[in-house]
Structure 1
Amino acid sequence: MKRWQADGLLLAVAAIWGLAFVPQAWGMETLQPMGFTGLRFALGALVVAPLAWRERRRPAPVVPAGGPPRWLLLFGLGSLIFLGAALQQIGLVTTSVTNASFLTALYVPLVPVLGWLLFGRRPHWIAWPAAVGCVAGTWLLTGGQAVHMVAGDWWVIASSLPWALHVVLVGWAAGRLGAPYTVACVQFIVCSVLSLIAAAALESMSWEAVRAAAGAIAYTGLISVGVGYTAQVVAQRHTQPADAALVLSSETVFAAIFGALLAGDRLTAAGWAGCALILGCILLAQLPMLWRQREAGH
């Protein structure tokens, strides 16, 4: 897969995730956060399980010597998704979808910093203004006004660190293990098990509540997790984490668009300016790749 194809796939992932904010909020009307998270990731694991099984029947790839063992990598990725998804879902109980989409985007500038610290991958200088521009564009999508903080907002802010770590590590882990579908499936299982354990300890869940949230579970499990997160793993084997974070930040644009189409929301002039700024920053981040391709062609 070429890098532009990987970025295009990540753009599709961003669209899937942008639409998911609304059913995630709907799910909280009847289910509590840990139960909802556990069920949707269990459903996502079922979606990708046949691909993972087929992948495991092939000759096992040679894992490079050194570094953490396979099981620790997979458990770590699943734990990061669990932390990110759980904290975000708890936040959606009391914050708005708009605030959640904005505050989740705070992981974007964290990704190049963490990639630099963990792997010594110093990003191209363009990545820094592009990352800041994406966060500014997301703020404009909220109306360009002060975000009135409530308890849920702090939970969503806390989720930005595990999301950023996951974006930094998932492509590296999938490339190292040579098994993207297995990575996707196992991390979903880990997230689901941890969430359901937390639900059993901290929450109450009834069959009636699950039935009432069936539509939200179906979309966020089958599409957002099963398709979206799996496509992220596949795509990030072929692009850099900082670029991936910038492309994925467009989920806030799609969240605003789908909110206007499906929930009757309206984008203000500031909101449209935010959409344009985010998309412009994503295109800006592609310039180094285009320059290198142009130089290679001469």
Structure 2
Amino acid sequence: MKTQRIKSNLLLLLTATIWGFAFVAQRVGGQYIGAFTFNAIRFAIGSISLIPLILFFNSSNKKNGHVKEFKEALLPGFIAGVFIFLGSSFQQIGITHTTAGKAAFITGLYIIIVPILGVFLKQRIGLNTWIGAVIAVLGLYFLCITDKLSISYGDFLELICAFFFAVQILLIDNFCKKVNNLKLAFLQFLVCSVLSLISALFVEKIAISSIMLAAVPILYGGILSSGVAYTLQIVAQKNAEPSQAAIIMSMESVFGSIGGILILNESLGSRGILGCILMLVGMLLAQFRIGKSDNSISESTNEKLKNENNYS
């Protein structure tokens, strides 16, 4: 059992690595094509990559079981897809105006935002989350706020993106108890792809030559970040400790920053590194419980891990 847990943790670490380096793919892809075009193709590939999983993990043995489950997941998938569209759009536009490392850490703030938003749903959160939030916000200050007390355009868009992803996670937390999770993931990716394509047709120039230049980043985001990483996550979560899984997946931000440094030659500077460390400490602290609480950040995070891939 211990060996299986170690293997599961290693698979989750690999998943976090794939998702972290996806920020690099997004930034590179954004140099060739518009944000909406990138997301339209990426999420279309992502939804298609889930079809083998849907067939393999078919939860219904009844005839027409797939059709029934798709119908049940249709409305939840549409609603969740709208928020993925909003979050991923702000993220992809923002990442062209900031670094992959910054984008990874700012997006990771959804870990803090989720339980805070849960307060409005009358959910209790632990003292650790409040402490973690304060530390994370302090880290955000060092990472993003300039000496003139202003935040860059790209960093601000990433912050909005984290908010929309947090709302989407809360929606998934509710929907996943009622519908088939893989079909929900498939539909929300599909909705995001369609909305992105519609937006691209209105505000961007779509050129095959540009898409070909961005082919590798698109395929990375669509196949590796969605299909492969999602499969690894499903396999790994069977034997992983939920709290450990949440902590390992938090390392996604670290790998995003490492990818930016190694591949894109990005530099955060001493102030930025301090900010990243504080934000990581805050996010990790939010995974642990101090005292009693009806709902914890680790629970919300694990709903995300169980029901969808990282959208970065």
TM class by smaller structure: 0.7 to 0.9
1:66 paired residue number: none
Looking at structure 2, the residues matched to 199 and 279 of structure 1 have their Cα atoms a distance apart, in angstroms, of 34
Matched, 1:38 2:40: yes
2:177 aligned to which of 175, 178, 186? 175
Task: Quote the offset at 1:198 in angstroms.
Answer: 1.4
Paired letter, 1:125: L
Q: What SS does the aligned partner of 1:38 have?
A: helix
Q: What SS does the aligned partner of 2:31 have?
A: coil
Looking at structure 2, the residues matched to 82 and 7 of structure 1 have their Cα atoms a distance apart, in angstroms, of 30
Bigger shift: 125-134 or 210-219?
125-134
The Cα offsets for residues 234-274 of structure 1, whole Å up to 9 and x where unpaired, read as 999999x9999877554332222222222333564555544
2:305 paired residue number: none
The Cα offsets for residues 41-73 of structure 1, whole Å up to 9 and x where unpaired, read as 11111111111133446247x9xxxxxx63221
The Cα offsets for residues 137-171 of structure 1, whole Å up to 9 and x where unpaired, read as 45545699677534434433322221111122224
Task: Quote the offset at 1:121 in angstroms.
Answer: 2.2
Q: CA RMSD in A?
A: 4.2
Looking at structure 1, the residues matched to 93 and 248 of structure 2 have their Cα atoms a distance apart, in angstroms, of 25
Q: What SS does the aligned partner of 2:185 have?
A: helix
Looking at structure 1, the residues matched to 144 and 111 of structure 2 have their Cα atoms a distance apart, in angstroms, of 17
Paired letter, 1:129: I
2:212 paired residue number: 211
Looking at structure 1, the residues matched to 251 and 80 of structure 2 have their Cα atoms a distance apart, in angstroms, of 23
Task: Quote the offset at 1:187 in angstroms.
Answer: 1.1
Q: How does 1:43-82 map to 2 (within 5 A)?
A: 43-56=45-58, 58-59=60-61, 70-82=73-85
1:116 paired residue number: 119
Contact 1:25 1:92 in 2 (8 A): yes
Matched, 1:90 2:93: yes
Looking at structure 1, the residues matched to 11 and 19 of structure 2 have their Cα atoms a distance apart, in angstroms, of 12
Unpaired segments ≥5 residues, structure 2: 66-71, 294-312
Q: How does 1:258-273 map to 2 (within 5 A)?
A: 258-266=259-267, 268-273=269-274
1:257 paired residue number: 258
Task: Quote the offset at 1:87 in angstroms.
Answer: 1.5
Matched, 1:284 2:292: no
Paired letter, 1:131: A
The Cα offsets for residues 100-128 of structure 1, whole Å up to 9 and x where unpaired, read as 3344344343211222323x321112111
Contact 2:128 2:290 in 1 (8 A): no
Question: Judging changes above 3 Å, is the alpha-carbon distance between structure 1 residues 130 and 13 closer, same or farther for their aligned structure 2 residues?
Answer: farther
The Cα offsets for residues 207-227 of structure 1, whole Å up to 9 and x where unpaired, read as 111110001101111122334
| TM-score when normalising by structure 2 | 0.72
| TM-score when normalising by structure 1 | 0.75
2:309 paired residue number: none
Task: Quote the offset at 1:131 in angstroms.
Answer: 2.8
2:27 paired residue number: 25
Task: Quote the offset at 1:75 in angstroms.
Answer: 0.8
Looking at structure 2, the residues matched to 137 and 56 of structure 1 have their Cα atoms a distance apart, in angstroms, of 43
Question: Judging changes above 3 Å, is the alpha-carbon distance between structure 1 residues 231 and 196 closer, same or farther for their aligned structure 2 residues?
Answer: farther
Contact 1:139 1:274 in 2 (8 A): yes
Paired letter, 1:100: A
Contact 2:132 2:283 in 1 (8 A): yes
Looking at structure 1, the residues matched to 83 and 152 of structure 2 have their Cα atoms a distance apart, in angstroms, of 24
Looking at structure 1, the residues matched to 274 and 238 of structure 2 have their Cα atoms a distance apart, in angstroms, of 32
2:104 paired residue number: 101
Looking at structure 2, the residues matched to 153 and 271 of structure 1 have their Cα atoms a distance apart, in angstroms, of 13
Matched, 1:188 2:186: no
Give percent identity, aligned residues only. Answer: 36
Report how many aligned residue pairs link the two structures. Answer: 282
